[in-house]
Amino acid sequence: MLAATADPAADTIVLKNGRRIVALSVTQDGDKVRYQTSAGELSLPKSIVDHVETGSVPPPDSLTAAAAANLRITPPTMEASASVEKGAVHDDAIDREYLAKVESAARSGERGASGIAALALHSAAQFELSRGDTDHALTDEKSALTYAPEDPVILMNVAYLHLRRSEYKVSLEYLEHARSVAPDNADVAKLSGWAYYGMNKLDQAVAEWHRALTLRPDAEVQHALKKAQRD
C-alpha cells in the first residue's frame, strides 16, 4: 500500500529496476504514484514501482543523489511562437490533431515545417511537465528533438527531464551533445553540474557550476554551488 508519511524526509520509492527515489512525501493516485520534491510534484506509473519505504533513512551513498533530486533548478527556455504554442496547447489540453498535422508537414519536407513541429512538441512537453507528467513530457520532448536534433535548448530540455527522473548518466549524453553545439552556453554548464552532483562527483559539479557563473549570474546555480561545497 502506498501512503503519505508525516516525516517529509523519510519516503523512498523503490522501482522494480532497483532505482531508489527519495521524496518529501509520496501518495497513490489511481495508476500514478505522485511524490513531492522541493522542485515540485512529479509522478510515476504505478506499474514500475515495487514498493515505498516510509519512515526509513536513505543509505549514505544515496544522500547526495537524493539532495540532487531536490535541487531547485529550472529548465532553459526557448523563443516561442505564440501561434504555434496556442495551436499545440489550448483549452487546458494538448491538441494532438494539431501535432499530427505539423509533424506530417515536417515529414513531407515542407519548408520551415520541422521547426514548427519541434516547437509544437516542445510546447506540449512543457505543458505536461507543468502537470508533473515527466513520462509523457520526455516522450514529446524527444519527438521534438527528431525535428531539431541540433537545437541546444531542446537537447537541454531532454537532459533536464532525465535529471528530474534522477537519470544522471543519460542526461550527460544529451548535455555533451548540447555543449558541442553551444560550447559557451551557461545552461549547459548549469545542468551538467546537476548531473555530476547526482552522480556524487562533487568536484566536477563544482567546476561546472563555477563555469556557469562565469558565463552568467544565476541565483539557482549559486544556491546549488553552496550546497555542493557544504557536502
Q: What is the pLDDT of residues 158-211, one digit of tens each?
A: 999 999 888 999 999 999 999 999 999 999 999 999 999 999 899 999 999 999
pLDDT at position 2:
42
Q: What are the C-alpha distances in Å from 190 to residues 35, 62, 230?
A: 24, 21, 18
- CA atoms of 227 and 219, how far apart (whole Å): 12
pLDDT at position 70:
67
pLDDT by position in tens, the chain (length 231): 343 333 345 588 888 877 778 787 888 888 999 888 755 688 889 899 989 888 655 554 455 555 676 688 999 998 878 999 999 999 999 999 999 999 999 999 999 999 999 999 999 999 999 998 999 999 999 999 999 999 999 999 999 999 988 899 999 999 999 999 999 999 999 999 999 999 989 999 999 999 999 999 999 999 999 888 886
**Looking at the domain that runs over 11-58, which CATH code has it been given?**
2.30.30
Strand partners, 41: 36
Domain with CATH 1.25.40.10 in the chain: 151-231
E-strand spans in 39-145? 40-45, 49-53, 89-90, 93-94
Contact 138, 44 (CB under 8 A): no
Contact 8, 38 (CB under 8 A): no
H/E segment holding residue 87: helix 82-88
Q: Cell 506530417 belongs to which residue?
A: 104
Domain with CATH 2.30.30 in the chain: 11-58
**What's the topology of domain 151-231?**
1.25.40
- CA atoms of 155 and 78, how far apart (whole Å): 11
